[in-house]
Structure 1
């Protein structure tokens, strides 16, 4: 006699779960953050070096550098950047969707330490004398671009201009990232200017507004304005690696990966149905739940999906199938030994559990090691693998056991071993 209560519970849970998945599918898809290998963009790895002699590169210094980089990334308009500190003195920056790689490089790595010096390269003013965030792009009478700055103390500027106007030549040299050994006079003689501009000072200027001219284009003026408004970097950053991925290439990679993954999953589904019949159907259902839960957790953690992440997700599907196969094979062995469907279900689950647990624990350990010791894409793979492994255990063991257990306890499978892939001729009589 079939127990309808268990069957009702089976279909009720299935329907409710299906409705929930239908409701959350679109929000999950729309909120997935794609890495630059899928979306296209720019990645660069910097070696952080001291800006001044005796400067220590410690955690605080690295945190300040990351904060400064974040400000500059905001200027680029990147909505989903990824900035990570590696090996204590390296910073990896990933900028999905960035198209102007040259401008991105300049904004990220330029120290942006603005100084005003005389012709002998003596320091007159520096960035600390400026009002933060007040740099603007403007145009002169000839419609040439310039950058306007706001000084904190106009009296100090008056003293500087009074001193400069009495020198010969009476120029106030404006430098960006002046380094020891740079020389205004030498660069003028060689006609190779590292400084921004060197306007002549013919009168005392008691003003808080300063103009920087000599910009060759509006883009150059805009970049300088953005650098000054985002603040100077507290360190030097030496580029040691970079990678650029075109948007079309990223999209093609994602399509090809998802297509290959879909074929693989479809083959797995058919394999489970062919060899394990109703048990395989239950396994396929739990695999669908697995994918939804993994992506939901991934989006909830605001993680970035990359090609290695997709590989880890598909690997997790394989592990989930493996856990189901181990359990279903144990159940089939128990049925072949002559036990009833209910007894075989209980014994098979009990015998399979230690093997599945051991397999999951070893994978978790491997993923943890990859996360601790790996970098960039390896860490992304490890995170997805950890998430997949934990959810695999939940869905494959408890989810599949719940659904199959409801059908077994409903007595629908009594005396029907074929529904679990066992031939009657293979059953040994006690």
Structure 2
């Protein structure tokens, strides 16, 4: 029995050490799954925050999705791989660019409106993006006996249909360039006159690149402009100070929690602390795995979920204490204590999880960051409190620690 208990504790020790090593060192040169691989928000790394608003009240979801795709494409073209564009409200888009110092310069780089045009080889504008009714990714054969490949299908409105028919008739054998903000994104060769209001752009497309091109073309035909209504700079130094302050606050809080649990519950507290270390490591790995952007409110969400994890252990330990007082053995008290604490723990965590889900879907910006880390933390904390802590406590009992006094309980 003692051998089995020691084996259980040894496995938990290896688990804690292994997960801690992963969070610190990660995998490979990029240190994947480590704390260094976690994306940092503007309030931690510094950068630029820009809020755009459409100059039209009734904007459809499709139009907003196209505008977001346009802005994200421009961010990628400028090499801002960590930058993100996201919908906010019904007609606003928030763009966050970590590591950039000048908001006005970033706005000039991104631009405010999508200028799409079809031009001939001499540079003459044949028709503009507002004449395109729709652009979609398709997969099929672009010529007879050809294999199926991804391509972009265009559909013009009545004005565009007429002008495109004239343009293709006059440019057979030549290219018509599709230009977005003075950059050629495609230049297909005209094979014949097209009169049905439909066109096809084929080339060396993947499914993803064809979808991206279709989204850019749709964005170029947006019936509204994007106006900057707010821009903020977050200095890199300010972000670094915020990160160090947040980490320090977290370490102090965790340290006090660890010390309190050992003082109050002795071996049970030590088991809870052991499980808490595993929880923190798992939480950080999941944040890195799912590319969650960490912000200061996000750090607050992590600390709050740590408190909930400890609270679950306190509920369990108090249930065990009640069972010991009525005369049950330690092994029986532990089994019953975990069973009776389960409904209260699940109810408390589920209600908090519901609130976090509501914040995530209805909130934005930093509120969503807080909700994300809180949701992840709640799920992991329930696992560590109900499973990991139980394995450690049972391992201690089987290893020979039978005296209730060693667990902080004073019973007759």
TM range (shorter): 0.7 to 0.9
Q: What is the alpha-carbon distance in structure 2 between the residues aligned to residue 61 and residue 421 of structure 1?
A: 62
Q: What is the alpha-carbon distance in structure 2 between the residues aligned to residue 155 and residue 406 of structure 1?
A: 78
- Which of these residues, 308, 316, 320, is aligned with residue 327 of structure 1? 316
SS of the aligned residue for 2:87 comes to strand
SS of the aligned residue for 1:111 comes to coil
Does structure 2 conserve the Cα–Cα contact (< 8 Å) formed by 1:336 and 1:422?
no
SS of the aligned residue for 2:93 comes to strand
Q: What is the alpha-carbon distance in structure 2 between the residues aligned to residue 390 and residue 419 of structure 1?
A: 30
- Displacement after TM superposition at 1:24 (Å): 4.6
Q: What is the alpha-carbon distance in structure 1 between the residues aligned to residue 180 and residue 114 of structure 2?
A: 10
Matched with 1:413 is: 401
Matched with 1:6 is: 5
- Which of these residues, 285, 304, 311, is aligned with residue 315 of structure 1? 304
Does structure 1 conserve the Cα–Cα contact (< 8 Å) formed by 2:8 and 2:391?
no
TM-score (norm 1): 0.69
- Displacement after TM superposition at 1:236 (Å): 0.8
Gap runs ≥5 in structure 1: 114-126, 131-151, 160-207, 209-224
Matches within 5 A, 1:85-104: 85-104=87-106
> Are positions 1:33 and 2:42 aligned together?
no
- Displacement after TM superposition at 1:372 (Å): 1.9
Q: What is the alpha-carbon distance in structure 1 between the residues aligned to residue 256 and residue 123 of structure 2?
A: 78
Does structure 2 conserve the Cα–Cα contact (< 8 Å) formed by 1:332 and 1:422?
yes
Matched with 1:271 is: 260
Q: What is the alpha-carbon distance in structure 2 between the residues aligned to residue 155 and residue 366 of structure 1?
A: 56
> Are positions 1:78 and 2:67 aligned together?
no
For residues 343-367 of structure 1, the C-alpha deviation after alignment (integer angstroms, 9 at most, x for no partner) is: 1111211221111111101101111
> Are positions 1:153 and 2:121 aligned together?
yes
SS of the aligned residue for 1:154 comes to coil
Q: What is the alpha-carbon distance in structure 1 between the residues aligned to residue 355 and residue 362 of structure 2?
A: 11
- Displacement after TM superposition at 1:78 (Å): 1.6
Matched with 2:53 is: 47
Q: What is the alpha-carbon distance in structure 2 between the residues aligned to residue 12 and residue 381 of structure 1?
A: 33
Does structure 1 conserve the Cα–Cα contact (< 8 Å) formed by 2:16 and 2:277?
no
Distance change >3 Å, CA 228–CA 32, structure 1 → 2: same
For the pair shown, the structure with the greater C-alpha radius of gyration is 1
CA RMSD of aligned residues (A): 2.4
Does structure 1 conserve the Cα–Cα contact (< 8 Å) formed by 2:19 and 2:278?
no
For residues 47-72 of structure 1, the C-alpha deviation after alignment (integer angstroms, 9 at most, x for no partner) is: 1134xxxx962222112211211222
- Displacement after TM superposition at 1:342 (Å): 0.7
SS of the aligned residue for 2:59 comes to coil
Q: What is the alpha-carbon distance in structure 2 between the residues aligned to residue 361 and residue 156 of structure 1?
A: 62
> Are positions 1:404 and 2:393 aligned together?
yes
- Which of these residues, 365, 370, 375, is aligned with residue 364 of structure 2? 375
Distance change >3 Å, CA 16–CA 392, structure 1 → 2: closer
Matched with 1:361 is: 350
Does structure 2 conserve the Cα–Cα contact (< 8 Å) formed by 1:287 and 1:317?
yes
SS of the aligned residue for 1:326 comes to helix
- Displacement after TM superposition at 1:382 (Å): 0.8
> Are positions 1:261 and 2:250 aligned together?
yes
Does structure 2 conserve the Cα–Cα contact (< 8 Å) formed by 1:76 and 1:104?
no
Distance change >3 Å, CA 350–CA 86, structure 1 → 2: same
Distance change >3 Å, CA 56–CA 367, structure 1 → 2: closer
Q: What is the alpha-carbon distance in structure 2 between the residues aligned to residue 99 and residue 6 of structure 1?
A: 56
Distance change >3 Å, CA 94–CA 155, structure 1 → 2: closer
Does structure 2 conserve the Cα–Cα contact (< 8 Å) formed by 1:324 and 1:396?
yes
- Displacement after TM superposition at 1:155 (Å): 8.8
- Displacement after TM superposition at 1:227 (Å): 4.7
Does structure 2 conserve the Cα–Cα contact (< 8 Å) formed by 1:287 and 1:320?
yes
Of 348-357 and 6-15, more deviation after overlay is shown by 6-15
Q: What is the alpha-carbon distance in structure 2 between the residues aligned to residue 373 and residue 17 of structure 1?
A: 36
What is the aligned residue count?
319
> Are positions 1:246 and 2:249 aligned together?
no
TM-score (norm 2): 0.72
- Displacement after TM superposition at 1:79 (Å): 2.3
Does structure 2 conserve the Cα–Cα contact (< 8 Å) formed by 1:332 and 1:420?
no
Gap runs ≥5 in structure 2: 27-33, 127-173, 186-215
Q: What is the alpha-carbon distance in structure 2 between the residues aligned to residue 283 and residue 323 of structure 1?
A: 10
Distance change >3 Å, CA 106–CA 317, structure 1 → 2: same
SS of the aligned residue for 1:57 comes to coil
- Which of these residues, 422, 427, 430, is aligned with residue 409 of structure 2? 422
Q: What is the alpha-carbon distance in structure 2 between the residues aligned to residue 14 and residue 41 of structure 1?
A: 40
User: Moved runs in structure 1, 4+ residues, more than 6 A?
Assistant: none
Distance change >3 Å, CA 347–CA 81, structure 1 → 2: same
